Amino acid sequence: MDNQAILIVGLLAVYAGLGSLVVFWGRSRRAVSADRRRPQRAGSEASPLSLMANKAVATVNRSLQGRELKVLTADKFEQAGVSMRAADFIVMSAGAAIAGVIFGWLIAGPVLGILVGILVVTGLLVWLNVKVSKRQGKFADQLPDTLQLIAGSMRAGHSLLRAIDAASEQSPQPMADELRRVINESRIGRDLGEALLHTAARMKSEDFLWTAQAIETQREVGGNLAEVLDNVNHTIRERAQLGRQVRALSAEGRLSAFILVALPIALLIIISMINPSYGITFFTTVPGWLMLGLIAVMMTLGTIWMLRLVKPKY
Residue 201 maps to which CATH number? 1.20.81.30
- In degrees and rounded to multiples of 5, residue 252 shows phi and psi of -65, -40
Distance of CA 118 to the CA centre of its chain: 18
- In degrees and rounded to multiples of 5, residue 204 shows phi and psi of 50, 50
Do 214 and 302 belong together in one domain? no
Q: Is the pLDDT of residue 143 over 80?
A: yes
CA 44 to CA 233: how far, in whole Å? Answer: 56
Neighbours of 290 (CB within 10 A): 11
Using the 8-state DSSP alphabet, how is residue 68 labeled?
-
Domain boundary pick from 41, 73, 108 = 108
Using the 8-state DSSP alphabet, how is residue 171 labeled?
S
Query: What domain range is 86 assigned to?
Result: 2-108
User: Does pTM surpass 0.75?
Assistant: no
CA neighbours closer than 13 Å in the CB half-sphere of residue 279:
16
pLDDT per residue as tens digits for the range 80-121: 888 877 777 888 888 888 888 888 888 767 777 888 888 888
In a domain, residue 115? The reply is no
pLDDT per residue as tens digits for the range 273-292: 888 787 787 778 888 888 88
Tell me how many domains the chain contains: 3
pLDDT per residue as tens digits for the range 245-266: 888 888 888 888 888 888 888 8
Is residue 210 within 8 A of residue 234, CB to CB? The reply is: no
